[in-house]
């Protein structure tokens, strides 16, 4: 029996694209495809798939000029990947021969290897040259339309420019942000996060092993900064995994209970707590069934569309179609009602979602305030945090968007609001 040829990173990247575009599965759910690859090849396959998804619209536009009849998805994805790589300066010989050989090893598509060879050669020889003149890739219509309705076409174009640029790496320091910024050679942002633009493997950076910081987008770090926990406060992190906000609460000295339904994701919280030498009580449970109350601080970082994270997850617009968002919106409303019931008298609730859709942010809080006249928002919690006053919203929340801080490298899209009982 001839030994099976080990998969190449490019071949695996094409399979990842099939999974995202053909099966609606996110890249984070890629362990099956990457199983037979070495660590560095896995990272390479993920990088290639991510770059391709970011430039997909441009690749399709160039390919439509040279391919008359659309080939099957797997071959189209190989052409897309090759086109993006070539247009971004990849080595023509390596890209073309590797993808042709990948297609030749597949009985179903072998007859199309000549097409792959001819098209990618054309791309390498000049058909890919207009790349930089093509428009910034747009989000698919199912997402672009509701966002344009909410924020206007100009803002959506600015968000798309931020998505196309991708994201730097932001970290939160356990204690001394200025010292950690210096140690990592990063920039200290106005809100206290540290931004790295040129970084290698995260776990190889100084201070990672010793737990002096953790990865957390600058926008995601703001809800806990706004809550400003004091040592000894009882804090409930209702949807905690992988634990960025749990770590912030614990680092501030709060007594934290962290809940999540996912055992696998809770393992990440446990590892993060161990690495940073911080502690929290971990509860694996549906938060709607959790009925211990009396918390000074309740943080509800609710499950949502995650449309604020497209800079880092360009697969999202292709893996999703918005059909599950209605269920998420209903769940967020239920969780908000429940979260309020767990507060101690005088306690504060921080609701947040990494979403760009007002239905998962502003509208949730407006509707909560309509349902519960005894509640109010506390916009003053966002004072002196290094954010721009125009990011505050009418109902008393804070709206963050990927096109904000464009000169500093952007931020995730996020919504947050602090809710208290009226006195
Ligand atoms: C947006 S993520 C939380 C991110 C986290 N707060 C952080 O900062 O790292 C949402 C989390 O909610 C959890 N979740 C979803 N439904 C839940 C439920 N009914 N009860 C508890 N956790 C839930 C998911 O497993 C997921 O880990």
Question: 172-201, pLDDT tens digit by residue?
Answer: 999 999 999 999 999 999 999 999 988 888
**CA-CA distance, 339 to 337, in Å (whole number)?**
6
pLDDT value, residue 191: 96
Ligand 1 atom at minimum distance from 290 CA = 20
Name the residue with the closest Cα to ligand 1, atom 19: 286
- Residues annotated as binding site? 239-245, 260, 301
pTM, full prediction: 0.95
Q: How many CB atoms lie within 10 A of CB 288?
A: 14
Pocket test for ligand 1, best of 28, 172, 238, 241 (most atoms within 8 A of CB): 241
Q: Is 242 in the pocket of ligand 1 (CB under 6 A)?
A: yes
- Report the candidate in 387, 347, 422, 406 with the shortest Cα–Cα distance to residue 136: 406
Residues 258 and 360 in one domain: yes
Residue 101 lies in a domain: yes
Q: Which residue pairs from 23-30 have beta carbons closer than 8 angstroms and sit at least 24 positions apart in sequence?
A: 24/319, 24/320, 24/321, 25/319, 26/313, 26/315, 26/316, 26/319, 27/313, 27/315, 27/319, 28/313
What is the arithmetic mean of pLDDT over 341-354? 98
| Six token digits for residue 196 | 């790295």
Q: Output the known binding site for S-adenosyl-L-methionine.
A: 239-245, 260, 301
Order of all β-strands in the sheet with 187-188: 187-188, 194-196, 169-173, 213-215
**Burial (Cβ within 10 Å: 0-12, 13-18, ≥19) of residue 405:** buried
* 71 & 193 share domain: no
**What is the CATH classification number for the domain harbouring 100?**
1.10.940.10
Residue 7's Cβ-count burial label (10 Å; 0-12, 13-18, 19+) is buried
Asked if residue 158 belongs to a domain, the reply is: no
Residue 3 has pLDDT above 70, yes or no: no
Query: What phi and psi values does residue 193 have, to the nearest 5 degrees?
Result: -75, 165
Do 414 and 222 contact (CB within 8 A), yes or no?
yes
Whether 420 and 178 have beta carbons less than 8 Å apart is answered as: no
Domain around 108:
9-133
Per-residue pLDDT, 1: 46
pLDDT exceeds 90 at position 39? no
* Residue that terminates a domain, selected from 85, 105, 133: 133
Give the β-pairing of 234-237 and 295-301. Answer: parallel
C-alpha of residue 301 to centroid of ligand 1, in Å? 7
Question: Tens of pLDDT along 83-102?
Answer: 999 999 999 999 999 999 99
Q: Which among 87, 106, 133 is the end of a domain?
A: 133
Q: Looking at the structure, do residues 182 and 231 belong to the same domain, yes or no?
A: yes
Structure confidence at residue 423 as a pLDDT band (50, 70, 90): confident
Q: What is the DSSP letter of 344?
A: E
The verdict on residue 173 lying in a domain is: yes
The residue to mutate among 242, 261, 283, having the most atoms of ligand 1 within 8 angstroms of its beta carbon, is 261
Same domain as 358, residue 247: yes
List Cβ neighbours of 161 (8 Å cut-off, separation of 6 or more): 136, 403, 406
Cα 239 to averaged position of ligand 1 atoms, centre (Å): 4
219 lines ligand 1 (CB under 6 A): no
- On the question of pLDDT at 401 being above 80, the answer is yes
- Beta-bridge mates of residue 299: 237, 350
Alpha-carbon 148 to chain mean position: 20
Question: Which residue's CA is minimally distant from atom 12 of ligand 1?
Answer: 239
- Asked if 181 and 70 sit in the same domain, the reply is no
**Could you give the CA distance from residue 148 to residue 146 in angstroms, rounded to a whole number?**
5
Helices 325-341 and 362-371, packing angle to 10 deg: 50
How far, in Å, is the centroid of ligand 1 from the Cα of 32?
A: 24
Domain contains 362: yes
| Residue 38: CB atoms within 10 Å | 11
Q: Among residues 87, 304, 352, 354, which one is catalytic?
A: 354
Ligand 1 near 265 CB (within 6 A): yes
Confirm whether 274 is domain-assigned.
yes
User: Is residue 412 assigned to a domain?
Assistant: yes
122 and 241 inside one domain: no
Total domains present in the chain = 2
Q: Both tokens of residue 265?
A: 């994701």
Give backbone dihedrals phi and psi of 266, rounded to 5 degrees, phi first: -65, -30
Are 298 and 193 in a shared domain?
yes
User: Active site includes 354?
Assistant: yes
DSSP string of 72-101, one letter each residue = PHHHHHHHHHHHHHHHTT--HHHHHHHHHH
Question: 242 with 325, same domain?
Answer: yes
Note whether 350 and 382 are within 8 A (CB): no
Residue 125 shares a structural domain with residue 249: no
Q: Could you tell me if 334 and 280 lie in one domain?
A: yes
Tell me if 415 is assigned to some domain.
yes
Which ligand 1 atom lies nearest to the CA of residue 259? 21
Which CATH number belongs to the domain containing residue 412 in this structure? 3.40.50.150
Q: 32 and 115, same structural domain?
A: yes
| Average pLDDT of the segment spanning 377-388 | 97
121 & 211 share domain? no
Residue 303: closest CA among 330, 276, 283: 330
Token code pair at residue 346: 């005088």
**Cβ atoms of 110 and 75 closer than 8 Å:** no
Whether 341 lines ligand 1, by a CB cut-off of 6 Å, is no
Percent of the chain with pLDDT over 90: 93
Q: Model ipTM?
A: 0.99
Average the pLDDT over each of 29-33, 209-213, 240-244, 392-396 and give the range with the smallest value: 29-33
Per-residue pLDDT band at 5 (split at 50, 70, 90): low
Residue 55: name the closest of 164, 166, 167 by CA: 164
- Within a domain: 4: no
Tell whether ligand 1 has an atom less than 6 A from the beta carbon of residue 245.
yes
In the listed set 83, 110, 133, which residue is the last one of a domain according to the structure? Answer: 133
């Amino acid at each position: 029996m001839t030994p099976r040829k080990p998969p190449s990173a490019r071949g695996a990247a094409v399979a990842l694209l099939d999974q995202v575009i053909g099966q609606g599965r996110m890249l984070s759910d890629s362990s099956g495809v990457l199983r037979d690859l070495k660590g560095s090849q896995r990272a390479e396959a993920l990088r290639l798939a991510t770059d391709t998804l970011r430039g997909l619209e441009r690749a399709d536009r160039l390919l439509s000029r040279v391919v008359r009849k659309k080939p099957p998805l797997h071959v189209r994805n190989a052409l897309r990947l090759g086109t993006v790589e070539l247009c971004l300066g990849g080595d023509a010989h390596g890209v073309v021969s590797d993808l042709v050989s990948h297609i030749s090893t597949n009985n179903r598509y072998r007859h199309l290897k000549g097409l792959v060879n001819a098209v990618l050669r054309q791309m390498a020889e000049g058909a890919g040259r207009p790349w930089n003149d093509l428009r910034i890739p747009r989000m698919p219509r199912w997402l672009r339309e509701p966002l344009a309705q909410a924020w206007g076409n100009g803002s959506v174009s600015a968000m798309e420019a931020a998505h196309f640029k991708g994201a730097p790496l932001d970290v939160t320091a356990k204690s001394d942000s200025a010292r950690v910024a210096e140690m990592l050679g990063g920039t200290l942002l106005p809100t206290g996060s540290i931004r790295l633009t040129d970084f290698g493997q995260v776990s190889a950076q100084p201070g990672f092993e010793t737990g002096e910081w953790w990865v957390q987008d600058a926008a995601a770090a703001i809800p806990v900064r706004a809550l400003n926990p004091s040592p000894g406060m009882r804090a409930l992190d209702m949807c905690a995994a992988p634990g960025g906000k749990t770590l912030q609460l614990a680092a501030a000295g709060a007594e934290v209970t962290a809940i999540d339904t996912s055992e696998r994701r809770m393992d990440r919280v446990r590892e993060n707590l161990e690495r940073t030498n911080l502690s929290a009580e971990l509860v694996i449970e549906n938060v709607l069934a959790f009925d211990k109350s009396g918390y000074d601080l309740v943080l509800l970082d609710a499950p949502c569309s995650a449309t604020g994270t497209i800079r880092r997850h360009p697969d999202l617009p292709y893996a999703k179609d918005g059909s599950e968002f209605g269920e998420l919106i209903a769940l967020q409303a239920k969780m908000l009602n429940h979260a309020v019931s767990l507060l101690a008298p005088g306690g504060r609730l921080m609701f947040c979602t990494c979403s760009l859709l007002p239905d998962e942010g502003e509208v949730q809080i407006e509707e909560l305030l309509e349902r519960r006249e005894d509640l109010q928002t506390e916009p003053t919690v966002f004072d002196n945090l290094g954010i721009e006053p125009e990011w505050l919203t009418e109902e008393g929340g804070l709206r963050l968007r990927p096109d904000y801080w464009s000169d500093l490298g952007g931020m995730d899209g996020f919504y947050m609001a602090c809710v208290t009982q009226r006195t």
